[in-house]
């Protein structure tokens, strides 16, 4: 069963880009370990093609080669924070309608050109002082992601809300040094949530 992890730096996490099977030190590695442990009788191929800095438009440009051509069984997507971050300082945010159209393009291609199941994770930003300027934009785009998930996803992980809840017991810096890029604690947290969300999807395919 081929599982493809796609996204930006949170997925990339410094992986070896010469080896698509290298999960890197981020959440894909934790998720892969949890998934293998939970489903020992399934033969998995894990592929990580996250690229640091990517926005939805960048995934669009490489989607045919880096997703469709691979014909995965499951596609896990975490994208969107850079659609806000790259435009935050100048406050030249891209319209939410453009973000929605970009993301829909990705999901439509999966649905129409593969048999893959889709697992979506929402973009997130923790409540750290220098990232508060993100909220007027990213909050709207998270709502778009949630609406698209209801339409396209086989499973969904609401990371922004889950990190907010997790930050009640431990502060934001327990999970991330900058409020966006998870450290080992945050990566393990995401990996566990993703593996849990993906479990029933895997079971349906494996039958």
Count of the separate structural domains present in the chain: 1
Listed in sequence order, the residues at least 6 apart from 89 whose beta carbon sits closer than 8 Å to its beta carbon are none
Residue 99, pLDDT score: 98
In this predicted structure, what is the pLDDT of residue 146? Answer: 98
Question: Roughly how many angstroms between the first and final C-alpha of the chain, as a whole number?
Answer: 12
pLDDT of residue 22: 98
pLDDT tens digit sequence for 11-67: 999 999 999 999 999 999 999 999 999 999 999 999 999 999 999 999 999 999 999
pLDDT value, residue 207: 82
Q: Please report the pLDDT score of residue 91 as a whole number.
A: 86
pLDDT at 107: 98
Q: What residue has token string 């993906």? A: 198
Q: Which residues pair with 74 in a beta bridge?
A: 3, 117
User: How confident is the model at residue 89, as a pLDDT?
Assistant: 85
- Rounded distance between C-alpha atoms, residue 20 and residue 17, angstroms: 6
DSSP-derived 3-state class of residue 97: helix
Q: Tell me how far CA of residue 85 lies from CA of 48, 67, 136, 143, in angstroms.
A: 23, 24, 12, 17
What is the pairing mode between strands 74-78 and 45-48? unpaired
What's the DSSP call for residue 40? T
Domain CATH code at residue 99: 3.40.50.1110
The ranges of the chain with pLDDT < 50 are: none
Domain that holds residue 51: 2-206
The reported pTM is: 0.97
């Amino acid at each position: 069963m081929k599982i493809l992890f796609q996204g930006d730096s949170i997925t990339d996490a410094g992986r070896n880009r010469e080896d698509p099977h290298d999960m890197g030190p981020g959440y894909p590695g934790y998720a892969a370990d949890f998934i293998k442990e939970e489903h020992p009788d399934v033969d998995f191929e894990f592929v990580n093609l996250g690229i640091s800095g990517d926005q939805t438009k960048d995934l669009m440009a490489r989607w045919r080669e880096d997703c469709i051509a691979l014909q995965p069984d499951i596609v896990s997507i975490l994208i969107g924070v850079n659609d806000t971050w790259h435009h935050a300082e100048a406050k030249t945010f891209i319209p939410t309608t453009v973000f929605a159209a970009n993301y829909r393009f990705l999901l439509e291609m999966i649905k129409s050109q593969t048999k893959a199941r889709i697992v979506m994770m929402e973009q997130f930003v923790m409540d750290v002082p220098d990232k508060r300027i993100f909220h007027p934009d990213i909050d709207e785009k998270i709502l778009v992601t949630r609406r698209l998930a209801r339409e396209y996803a086989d499973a969904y992980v609401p990371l922004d809300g889950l990190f907010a809840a997790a930050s009640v017991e431990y502060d934001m810096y327990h999970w991330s040094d900058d409020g966006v890029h998870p450290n080992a604690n945050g990566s393990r947290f995401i990996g566990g949530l993703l593996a849990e969300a993906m479990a029933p999807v895997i079971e349906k395919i494996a039958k």
